[in-house]
Chains A and B, each alone.
Chain A
Amino acid sequence: AQKVTQAQTEISVVEKEDVTLDCVYETRDTTYYLFWYKQPPSGELVFLIRRNSFDEQNEISGRYSWNFQKSTSSFNFTITASQVVDSAVYFCALSGRGNTPLVFGKGTRLSVIA
């Protein structure tokens, strides 16, 4: 069975601080995909990134960066120089290949205080 654990329920940081959101996953598949989504107060889930299991290269997009480590089954997300607009719930998710649905973690609520 697939499982995603986001151990941090809530994080609060002061603006301009860096923050890392943890994600640990479990799967028996050799091919799988990892995602991060942002859920602002408006409710829709906003896609941030997708990685496949064969690509462990870390990725940076502006203030966002992702660290994928298969050895520890982790896919952590770092926001550098956080801003108030980053306040949201962030979800890590996992899927297998083909038509398998996303399995989400319980999310981490990030509050960035000005």
Chain B
Amino acid sequence: GAGVSQSPRYKVAKRGQDVALRCDPISGHVSLFWYQQALGQGPEFLTYFQNEAQLDKSGLPSDRFFAERPEGSVSTLKIQRTQQEDSAVYLCASSWGAGVVTEAFFGQGTRLTVV
């Protein structure tokens, strides 16, 4: 596609529910990043993929967060047993290079609200 696509745009989850957030990167982009953006804050890094390999997951806040990119294109961020503090916008970004030295293109994000 023309840009990074994320779905759903909005998700309301009851506390304890599992959610899955999808990211379709720009075709051919090697690198894929997930960021979490709390209200009024800058995005914070969650995890990084180079093709299908998850090279850095140091930003995942707990073992309830899990990300995958099995075929090196589409990625899914899964949050198990959601809690209120998980409420945030989840941004996906992709870049053609192996790392952020090249500019990253961001999707519009998924706004997750846990009630």
| Chain A residues with a Cβ under 8 A of chain B | 4, 33, 35, 37, 42-47, 50, 91, 93, 95, 97-107
Docked-complex contact B104 and A91, CB < 8 angstroms = no
Q: In whole Å, how far is B55's beta carbon from the nearest beta carbon of chain A? A: 6
B113 contacts which chain A residues (CB < 8 A)? none
Interface size class of B (residues with CB under 8 A): 20 to 34
Docked-complex contact B100 and A99, CB < 8 angstroms = yes
Residue on B nearest A31 in the bound complex, by CB: B101
Residue on B nearest A4 in the bound complex, by CB: B42
Instruction: Answer whether residue B44 sits at the interface, using C-beta atoms and an 8 A cutoff.
Output: yes
A105 contacts which chain B residues (CB < 8 A)? 42
Given contacts A42-B108, A98-B101, 4 further A-B contacts (CB under 8 A): A43-B108, A47-B104, A99-B56, A101-B56
Whole-angstrom CA separation of A100 from B104 in the bound complex: 12
Tally of contacts, chain A with chain B, CB under 8 A = 68
Whole-angstrom CA separation of A97 from B97 in the bound complex: 12
| A104-B99 CB under 8 A given contacts A44-B107, A99-B50 | no
B44 contacts which chain A residues (CB < 8 A)? 104
Considering residues A46, A97, A99, which has the most beta carbons from chain B within 10 angstroms of its beta carbon?
A99
Of the candidates A35, A44, A47, A103, the one whose C-beta lies within 8 Å of that of B109 is A44
Docked-complex contact B99 and A99, CB < 8 angstroms = yes
Docked-complex contact B106 and A102, CB < 8 angstroms = no
Can you identify 7 A-B contacts, CB atoms within 8 angstroms? A43-B111, A44-B4, A47-B104, A99-B98, A101-B35, A103-B45, A106-B41
Instruction: Answer whether residue B26 sits at the interface, using C-beta atoms and an 8 A cutoff.
Output: no
Of the candidates A44, A46, A91, the one whose C-beta lies within 8 Å of that of B42 is A91
Q: Can you list the 8 inter-chain pairs with the closest CB atoms, starting with the nearest?
A: A104-B42, A101-B45, A45-B106, A99-B99, A44-B108, A43-B108, A47-B103, A95-B100
Instruction: Answer whether residue B89 sits at the interface, using C-beta atoms and an 8 A cutoff.
Output: yes
Docked-complex contact A101 and B100, CB < 8 angstroms = yes
Whole-angstrom CA separation of A46 from B3 in the bound complex: 11
| A107-B42 CB under 8 A given contacts A95-B101, A99-B50, A99-B56 | yes
